[in-house]
Structure 1
Amino acid sequence: MTTVDWHRLTHAYGRADDIPGLFARLGGTEDDSVWSELWSALCHQGSVYDASWAALPTLAEIACGRAPGGPADALVLAGAITAYAEDPRRKVYEREIGELLAVGRGLLTDPGIPAPSFVIFLQSVLAFEGAGVWSEALEGVNSEEYEVECPQCTEGLFVAFGRYGTFVSAGDYVTGPGADAATAGRGELTPARPDRLTGVGARLYGEAVRAGQPAVAEALTHVFGQGRCPSCDTAFSVAELVAEQWV
């Protein structure tokens, strides 16, 4: 950190000369609040800054256990910073991204990891790999839904695959017009057959199976399955719409 001219860099709130002090506070009882401040400054609502990228070497040090702080916290923040695969600054921090990728892959093999954490770590791995939209869009697996737009009638749809069931809703499926499963406000959601998955779908499904994450694997069959719009009966690939419409 001594080689970084922090006062010349900026983050969400202006000059970044407070970042070294925040990192110096890690490793004690304040960690939760410090990480909250780091997230707010370096990845504010998904936006990143020159100071965000300059923080990657320190985040890699923490993730690798060479500096105090939570390795998982450092990994996830670094993943969010590097999520945009086309950012030219990735090349500058290629070594650090490689280290972070190795840590992330190691965390995915932890047999005791909760499913939501597994998804978050998998997002980080995808970010370090420069895998594109799914490094961010995969968060829908944890929220158990995606919002998409019908490619035919442009109806706003919810694709749900969780505690409320598996279906496509043309309205709020908790309290709104899509809440009643017997109404015309719902369409079918057909999961993909695992043996027919290809590309990123096959890769993500395989990661979940190998890690002993059956709930995540099942959710992914719906994410890469086929939905049907309840308003116009148009069939669509859920994953394709997510990839096209995710911003």
Structure 2
Amino acid sequence: MVNWARMYDCRFDTDRVPELLEQVEREDDVEAWKELGYRLVLEHDLVSPASFAALPHLVRLASGSAEARGLAGEIMERAAGHHGCDDLLADCADAIAEFRELLDGHLRSRPTDYLAAFRALLAVKEQYHWAAVVGDFTDDFYLVICPHCAVEVTIALGGFGRYSAIRDWDLGDVNRRDLRPAPAEKLSGIGRWMYETAVRDGNDVLANGIAHLFGEAECPSCGSVFNIADEYTSANCPVLR
């Protein structure tokens, strides 16, 4: 049983979240969901004790509610942050496992909110850095540091091109080099899972973008070749407590 008197939300209140959870369970109230959202997930990726206390309840509603599924996903995407609620997160282990199965089944149905569910599942798998940045590959950019000459390289993945470049704020992306996508058989780890899940669900654009993201780039400055995902992960992967 949750002791809500100790579970302050992102607005430092302790009474509104349990009331709102009861309200959205009774009726699909748009305004109640909106208020619940800004009480459980604050700007700048912050969450609170009430966020994790509410997570099991949201997961129970998630199979029939896009709002519950989305909000639970947003909370999970912030689970690696400095929220001071590690014990509450650990208590959610069963709900998180249930959410993982639910999200996988949801993705198989090829829903309209595919990308949001895909990112939530990445967070459930503790791939927080990818959950935060993977887009639909129509207008995506990643900044990495060349491991050989330490210059900042822009990785572009979108309809405008798939290349590495040096970003000049006056001239734009200069010295472009085409990316080298990873062959499917050479993918491993989380990259392989991401690619195979997208292929399984018929999301060819996402699969192709992932192959490029986990492929290789040429540094426009020194000409060396490096793995994009490895360099991005080394710079952005959070240290799990």
Contact 1:225/1:238 (CA < 8 Å) preserved in 2?
yes
| Change in 2 beyond 3 A, CA 1:124/1:142 | farther
Deviations 1:53-95 (A, max 9, x none): 1111211121134xx77343244234325456x9454431111
Instruction: Single out whichever of 148-157 and 207-216 deviates more from structure 2.
Output: 148-157
1:48-63 matched pairs, under 5 angstroms: 48-63=47-62
Aligned match of 1:202:
192
| Change in 2 beyond 3 A, CA 1:159/1:79 | same
In 1, distance between residues paired with 2:8 and 2:104? 31
Alignment pair present for 1:177 and 2:171? yes
Percent identical pairs in the alignment equals: 26
Segments of 5+ residues of structure 2 without an aligned counterpart are none
The structural deviation recorded for 1:221 is 0.8
The structural deviation recorded for 1:126 is 2.4
The structural deviation recorded for 1:19 is 1.1
User: What secondary structure is seen at the aligned counterpart in 1 of 2:212?
Assistant: helix
Alignment pair present for 1:230 and 2:220? yes
Residues matched between the structures, number: 232
1:183-194 matched pairs, under 5 angstroms: 183-184=174-175, 186-194=176-184
Deviations 1:163-193 (A, max 9, x none): 1101112116xx74234xxx53x23311111
The structural deviation recorded for 1:150 is 2.4
In 2, distance between residues paired with 1:34 and 1:242? 38
Aligned match of 2:98:
99
Contact 2:56/2:95 (CA < 8 Å) preserved in 1?
yes
1:1-247 matched pairs, under 5 angstroms: 3-26=1-24, 30-31=29-30, 33-44=31-42, 45-65=44-64, 70-82=67-79, 87-111=86-110, 113-114=111-112, 117-139=113-135, 141=137, 143-171=139-167, 176-179=170-173, 183-184=174-175, 186-246=176-236
User: What secondary structure is seen at the aligned counterpart in 1 of 2:172?
Assistant: coil
User: What secondary structure is seen at the aligned counterpart in 2 of 1:171?
Assistant: strand
Q: What TM-score comes out, normalization by structure 1 length?
A: 0.80
Q: What TM-score comes out, normalization by structure 2 length?
A: 0.82
The structural deviation recorded for 1:159 is 0.7
User: What secondary structure is seen at the aligned counterpart in 2 of 1:51?
Assistant: helix
Contact 2:76/2:123 (CA < 8 Å) preserved in 1?
yes
CA-based RMSD: 2.8
User: What secondary structure is seen at the aligned counterpart in 2 of 1:15?
Assistant: coil
Deviations 1:203-229 (A, max 9, x none): 111001101110000000110011122
